[in-house]
A and B are shown apart, each in its own frame.
Chain A
Amino acid sequence: MMELDPRTRLFLLFTFVVIVMVTQPLPVLAAEALLIAGVIAACGFMRAWVRILRTVVLMLVFLFAFYVWTLGLSEAVMGVLRLSASISAFFLFFQLTTVEDLGNALVQSRVPYPFVFVLMTAMQFAPVLSRQARDVFDAQRARGIRLEMDLASARNFPALLAPLLIQAFTLAEQLAEALEARGFGSPHRTFMREYRLRAVDWAAALCGVGALALAIVLLRQG
Chain B
Amino acid sequence: MLIDIEHVRYRYPVSEGWGLDDASLQVEAGEYVVLAGASGSGKSTLLRLLNGLIPHFYGGELQGRVRIDGTDTVDRPVHAWLPFTGLVFQNPKAQLFASSVEREVAYGLESLGLARDEIRARLDWAAEVAQIGPLLGRAPHLLSGGEQQRVVVAAMLALRPRVLALDEPFTNLDPEAAYQLRSIMRDIQREGTTLIVAEHKLSEMLADATRLVVVAGGRIALDGSPRDILRQDLAPYRINLPTFARFARACGLSGSPLTLDEAVQMGVHAQADQVAQPVNGEGSGSRPVIEAEGLGHDLAGRPVLRDINLRVLSGDTVALVGRNGSGKTTLLKHLNGLRRPARGRLSVLGHDMRKARMADLAAQVGYVFQNPNDQLFKLTVREEIEVGARATRRFDSRLLDALYDNFDLRSLLDCSPFRLSEGQKKRVAFASALAVHPELLVLDEPTVGQDAASHDALVRWLRESHQTTIIATHDLEFAQEVAPRWIALAGGETVADGAPACLMSDARVMSIAGLRPTARFQLAAQTGHLTGAEAG
Contacts and interface: CB of A to CB of B under 8 A. Distances in A.
Interface in B379-437: 387-388, 391-392, 418, 432-433, 436
Contact of B98 (A100, A141, A159, A177): A100
Given A144-B392, A185-B78, A188-B113, A162 B369 contact: no
B510 to A, nearest CB: 31
Nearest to B436: A144
B99 A124 contact: yes
Nearest to B394: A144
B112 A99 contact: no
Contacts of B108: 182-183
Contact of B113 (A99, A175, A186, A192): A186
Contact of A177 (B89, B338, B363): B89
B251 to A, nearest CB: 42
B518 to A, nearest CB: 30
Interface in B119-178: 119-120, 123, 141, 155
B436 A184 contact: no
B333 to A, nearest CB: 7
Given A124-B97, A186-B79, A190-B115, A177 B375 contact: no
B284 interface: no
A158 to B, nearest CB: 6
A127 B365 CA distance: 30
B459 interface: no
A145 B383 CA distance: 13
A145 B388 contact: yes
B113 A189 contact: yes
Contacts of B99: 98-100, 124
B377 A158 contact: yes
Interface residues of A, number: 48
A38 B168 CA distance: 51
B111 interface: yes
Contacts of A182: 82, 107-108, 111, 155
Interface in A176-221: 176-186, 188-192, 194
B321 to A, nearest CB: 22
Interface in A25-76: none
Interface stretch (A13-21, A82-90, A132-140): A132-140
B113 A177 contact: no
A142 B360 CA distance: 10
B116 interface: yes
Contacts of B377: 140, 158-159, 161-163
B396 to A, nearest CB: 15
Interface in A122-167: 124, 127-128, 131-132, 135-136, 138-146, 158-159, 161-163, 166-167
A163 B95 contact: no
A178 B95 contact: yes
B332 to A, nearest CB: 10
A158 B95 CA distance: 28
Contact of A190 (B56, B110, B365): B110
Contact of A181 (B53, B141, B365, B433): B53
Nearest to A161: B377
Nearest to B83: A183
Contacts of B418: 166
B103 A189 contact: no
B375 A144 contact: no
A151 B109 CA distance: 52
Q: With a 10 A CB-CB cut-off, give which of A132, A175, A181 has the most chain B CB atoms.
A: A181
Interface string B328-360: 000001001010000000000000000000110
A142 B53 contact: no
Contact of B432 (A135, A143, A176): A143
A186 B112 contact: yes
A167 B91 CA distance: 12
Contacts of A184: 79, 111
A155 to B, nearest CB: 11
A127 B363 contact: no
Nearest to A185: B79
Given A182-B107, A190-B113, A177 B53 contact: yes
A98 B97 CA distance: 12
B97 A178 contact: yes
Given A99-B99, A136-B375, A192 B391 contact: no
Contacts of A142: 336, 338, 358, 362, 365, 367, 369
A92 to B, nearest CB: 17
18 contacts: A98-B99, A124-B99, A135-B371, A140-B374, A142-B358, A143-B367, A143-B375, A145-B387, A158-B377, A159-B377, A161-B377, A163-B376, A178-B94, A180-B57, A182-B155, A192-B106, A192-B109, A192-B123
Closest A-B pairs by Cβ, 8 of them: A183-B111, A188-B113, A144-B362, A174-B94, A162-B377, A178-B95, A143-B388, A139-B374
